[in-house]
Each structure stands twice: as C-alpha cells, then as structure tokens.
Amino acid sequence: MTLRPIVTLPDPVLKRKAKPVTKFDKDLQTLIDDMIETMRDAPGVGLAAPQVDISEQLIVVEYSEEDDDEDTEEEAEAKPKKLYVMINPVIVKASEEKVVGVEGCLSIPGIQGDVERYEAIQVKGLNRFGKPQKIKVNGWMARIFQHEIDHLNGILFTEIASRLWKFPPDEEEHEL
Ligand code: ZN
C-alpha cells in the first residue's frame, strides 16, 4: 500500500463530477487500499477518490458503528470502528430530520463550518468487488457519507455551510 498525496483547493479535480467505476480490476483494489491507508494516516474519517486526484465514484469511510448523539467525541472515538468501501454510491432514502454539525475537509485545511445534513440515510452502491450493497446509517456516520458523496459531485462543504470559520491546523479534528 502507498500513501497518496491529498489534493487541496483550488485543484480543479475537486470541482469535477466523478465518473462511475466500471472496472473492478487489480488497479481498483490498489486504489482502494491506498485510499484506506491515506485516510488513516491523515488522519481522517472519510475520503473520496477525487481527493487523491482520481475522478471516479469511490469513497471510503471509517468511524465507530454505533454512533450515539449523546456520546462525547472521546466516547465515540473509543468505540469499535467500522470501515466502509462504497463504489458508485447513491442516496436512495433520507430522513425528514436534518441536523447541523461541524465539518472540516482534508482538501480544505484550516477551515471549519456548520453544515446541515440528513440525520439518517440509506445508501446504495457496490462493494470493492462490484457486488451490490445497501446500508443504513445515521448520526455522524450519515454526515460523513453525505460529505464524501458530495465530493463525487464536485460539491465542497464550504459551498453549503451556513457559517465558516478558520481554525488552527494543529488542532485534531474529524476531517472528511
Ligand atoms: Zn472533504
């Protein structure tokens, strides 16, 4: 596995709509493994392929599975983590309830913002071997998926945030 450089603004790949993945070959498996390693190294809780300069519909997400809104960040961090690899993801169902939360992005260092997201979603897509999969996620996990799927459509959280602010880059935060 290899760490891949994370592209940052104003790289145009971040504004492009990513192409669907059609070939589930060895190169794709290498890309997926590299993305997982790059996400963990950053450290981040999600990464979309355009963030490593590949304009294809592929995301990786890793966060504690049982997300509980009552948890402090420390409590959530201590829970077992679940890794998702999702190819050609589509949100097929979304809750009526929306929630505002703080987001950051590995491709936009030093900026945070308040973003409104669906509290719960169902996502349909393919696993790393091209097999269909459908998952239900809520809370922080749902937020991470929505942030990463936005990346595949060339949408950055700074464009949909209700409020943005700068924060020191040495502060550890959940980066997406
Ligand atoms: Zn991001």
- Per DSSP, the residues of 81-119 read EEEEEEEEEEEEEE-S-EEEEEE--TTSTTEEEEEEEES
- Told to judge if 148 belongs to the known catalytic residues of this protein, a careful annotator would answer yes
Measured distance CA(84)–CA(82) in Å, rounded: 7
**C-alpha 49 – ligand 1 centre gap (Å):** 10
pLDDT in tens, 44-75: 999 999 999 999 999 999 998 665 566 666 77
pTM of the predicted protein model: 0.91
Distance (Å) from CA 15 to ligand 1 centroid: 12
CATH class of 12-166: alpha beta
Specify the amino acid at residue 105. Answer: C
All structural domains of the chain with their residue ranges: 12-166
Q: Tell me whether residue 80 is exposed, middle or buried, using C-beta atoms within 10 angstroms of its C-beta: 0 to 12, 13 to 18, 19 or more.
A: exposed
pLDDT, tens only, 93-116: 999 999 999 999 999 999 999 999
Rounded to the nearest angstrom, the distance between the alpha carbon of 74 and the centre of ligand 1 is 22
107, 101, 87: which is closest to 142 by C-alpha? 101
